[in-house]
Amino acid sequence: MEGNSAAALSGCAIVWRNIRIFILLIVLLWAAVHTSFERFGSTRWKDPLWVGIFPINADGTAAAQSYIDGITAENFGDINEFMGREAHRYGKSLAKPLYLVVYPQVRTLPPTLSRDAGILGTVWWSLKLRWYAWRNADTHGRASPHVRMFVLFHDPSTLQTVPDSHGMQKGLIGVTHVFGSQRMARTNSVVIAHELLHTLGATDKYDYATGAPLFPIGFAEPARKPLYPQDETEIMAGRRAVSAQRAEMPEGLDTVVVGPATAVEIRWAKR
């Protein structure tokens, strides 16, 4: 009898283990399908891509807060213009590729990613960020955007450079650090557009060690003679090469372009 009940127990345990594995497989399958669906949907360019800006006071200062209090969608109009202009250059007929909405301020800071996080640390951070976005991207009853951009504003008088920004394709989430200052608004838009394109599958086109644009994919005009100085900036390079040794950040999106390699990545062009 005892032997029989032990066998029945282990049989029961095996059934439960199989059920658990089955559920886990379903969850993983759902995540894979959901991610590829999101990727495909975000770069179809048949309808405007809905981008939600979620402002955050990064340092808790009154200066950053007063800047956030004055923000409207017009602050990011240059991103709309840039995306429209560049999409048309690649033959996209959509009048406006983006529909950009500013949502109410988010009060909780997103998880931070340290530079020495490694692969596992980065995976863990990306899971925490997806959880954070799910909990904090409160649309206050309005429809949810396709892409959620958390924009953290810093008081420019308290620091020289802002922390690194990130754009994640899985989950279509961006975390962007910028200065809360009207004077910096145009360069802020360059940073936000760069991270937005990361969420759509675009990769960096600069040398991580030196910050210099990669040739030819990081150059706006790689065929230009003489090659230097470049007048325009490729968005995913982030800087234009003014000489073989020196690169400069653009002052605004009016001198920035989407290069052919980036256009392929975001499905504006075919390889």
| DSSP H or E run through 12 | helix 2-42
CB contact at 8 A, 22 and 71: no
Please report how close the Cβ of residue 238 comes to Zn ion at its closest, in angstroms. Answer: 7
On whether the CB atoms of residues 112 and 104 are closer than 8 A, the answer is no
Q: Which residue is nearest to Zn ion (CB)?
A: 204
Tokens, residue 13:
């345990």
Instruction: Give 138 or 204: the residue with its C-beta nearer to Zn ion.
Output: 204
**Minimum distance from CB of 198 to Zn ion (Å)?**
6
| Cβ–Cβ < 8 Å for 241, 230 | yes
| Residue span 163-202 as binding mask against Zn ion, x where in contact by CB under 5 A, dash where not | ----------------------------------------
Residue 204 CB neighbours (<10 A): 14
67 vs 240, beta carbon nearer Zn ion = 240
Query: Nearer Cβ to Zn ion, position 59 or 204?
Result: 204
Q: How far is the CB of 33 from Zn ion (least distance, A)?
A: 27
Stretch that binds Zn ion, among 37-45, 113-121, 171-179, 204-212 (CB under 5 A): 204-212
Question: Is 120 strand, coil or helix?
Answer: helix
Residue among 63 and 178 whose Cβ is closer to Zn ion:
178
CB of 236 to Zn ion, least distance (A): 7
- Nearer to Zn ion by Cβ, of 204 and 207: the residue is 204
Gap between the Cα atoms of 257 and 269, Å rounded: 14
| Chain centroid to CA 124 | 17
* Choice between 155 and 195, CB closer to Zn ion: 195
> Tokens at residue 63, please?
């200066």
User: Closest separation between CB of residue 197 and Zn ion, Å?
Assistant: 8
- Which of 38, 138, 204, 221 is close enough to bind Zn ion by CB under 5 A? 204
Total chain residues near Zn ion (CB under 5 A)? 1
Chain length of the chain:
271
CB-side neighbour CA atoms (13 Å) of 17: 6
From CA 164, how far away is CA 154, in angstroms rounded?
13
Closest separation in Å from C-beta 20 to Zn ion: 39
Q: Which residues bind Zn ion (CB under 5 A)?
A: 204
